[in-house]
Amino acid sequence: MDFQVIVRNFNFLILQGFFGVGAFAGGTLRLALPAIVLGFILGTCIGVARLARSWWISLPALIYVELFRGVPLVMVIFWFWFIVPMLAGKSLPEYSVALTAFVIFEAAYLAEIVRAGIQSVARGQVEAATATGLTRAQMMRHVVLPQALRNMIPALVTQFIVLLKDTSLASIIGYVDLTKAAQIVNNREIRPFELYLFIAVVYWLCSYAMSKHASYLESRIGKQ
């Protein structure tokens, strides 16, 4: 056991690998944060579309969700690695490919959270909004979605934890996140046990702290 290897490479692992500050265009957080925001926007559209009354809106949304939830993320990443440069007509940095893949993949899961959130809003709210003369779109925007969002927050935090862990898979196409940073250091130092245990602890700290926060939020919502 030689945990000195962590001390020697601490800056590279944490600053470059986790935060994305350094020579490589990488970073776990630099991928996870935009991915959850963009994924949520897309997921909201799909979640709302799932509940549309016309089948030609709800059916494509349903197919989208079921398709992406039935395929491994690794497979989806390879698809985008192949398809994004082909559509763009030029080779793109790993970051763009990984971000596109994560946004589109996570949107399928986020859409289900949004749908459940919308369905958790009391029926009376919808009826009251309709009675005041709001159109369906206005009702969604001003009455249902704001309340749904509050109910969704714990599930969204949980999904962000999932995403944060999933971003480690971006390393398979060469994106320098925390996992890839550990691989790079390991190639030089050959200390796999110490290095992988260390990054496990880093991931664990983030995920565990957030999951505690999610259950706190859940208990607060439960009280209201």
Partner 1 sequence: MNYQFHWNVLWTGQTGGWLLQGLLTTLHLSILAWLLAVMLGITSGALRTTAISLLRWPAGVYVEFFRNVPLLVWMFFWYFGVPPLLPQALQEWLFEHGVEFWAGVFALGVYHGARFSEVIRAGIQSIPKTQFEAALSTGLTVLQTYRMIIVPIALRLIVPPATNETLNLLKNSSVALTIGVAELTFQTRQIETYTAKAFEALAAGTIIYLVLCLTIARLMARVERRVAIPGLIARGSTDAA
Which whole-number Å values give the CA distances from 61 to 69, 76, 115, 220, in the listed order?
12, 18, 11, 32
The yes or no reply on residue 40 touching partner 1 (CB under 8 A) is no
The yes or no reply on residue 87 touching partner 1 (CB under 8 A) is yes
* CB neighbours of residue 11 within 10 Å: 12
Q: C-beta of 162: minimal distance to partner 1 in Å?
A: 5
The yes or no reply on residue 82 touching partner 1 (CB under 8 A) is yes
Nearer to partner 1, 12 or 78 (CB): 78
Q: State how far the Cα of 162 lies from the Cα of 145, in Å rounded to an integer.
A: 23
The yes or no reply on residue 75 touching partner 1 (CB under 8 A) is yes
Site string for partner 1, 189-218 (x = CB under 8 A): ---xx-xxx-xx--xx--xx--x-------
Which range binds partner 1 by CB under 8 A, 18-26, 47-55, 70-78, 138-146?
70-78
The yes or no reply on residue 222 touching partner 1 (CB under 8 A) is no
Q: State how far the Cα of 202 lies from the Cα of 58, in Å rounded to an integer.
A: 40
* CB neighbours of residue 110 within 10 Å: 27
The yes or no reply on residue 74 touching partner 1 (CB under 8 A) is yes
Helix residue ranges, H only, 15-72: 28-50, 55-69
Nearer to partner 1, 7 or 75 (CB): 75
Which range binds partner 1 by CB under 8 A, 2-10, 125-133, 136-144, 165-173?
165-173
Q: 122 φ, ψ to 5°?
A: -60, 140
The yes or no reply on residue 24 touching partner 1 (CB under 8 A) is no
The yes or no reply on residue 12 touching partner 1 (CB under 8 A) is no
Residue linked to tokens 């490919």: 97
Contact 126, 136 (CB under 8 A): no
Contact 124, 103 (CB under 8 A): no
The yes or no reply on residue 183 touching partner 1 (CB under 8 A) is yes
- Identify which of 32, 23, 22, 25 has the alpha carbon closest to the alpha carbon of residue 203: 32
* Contact positions vs partner 1 (CB under 8 A): 67, 70-75, 78-79, 82, 86-87, 89, 109, 155, 158-159, 161-162, 165-166, 168-169, 171-172, 179, 182-183, 186, 192-193, 195-197, 199-200, 203-204, 207-208, 211
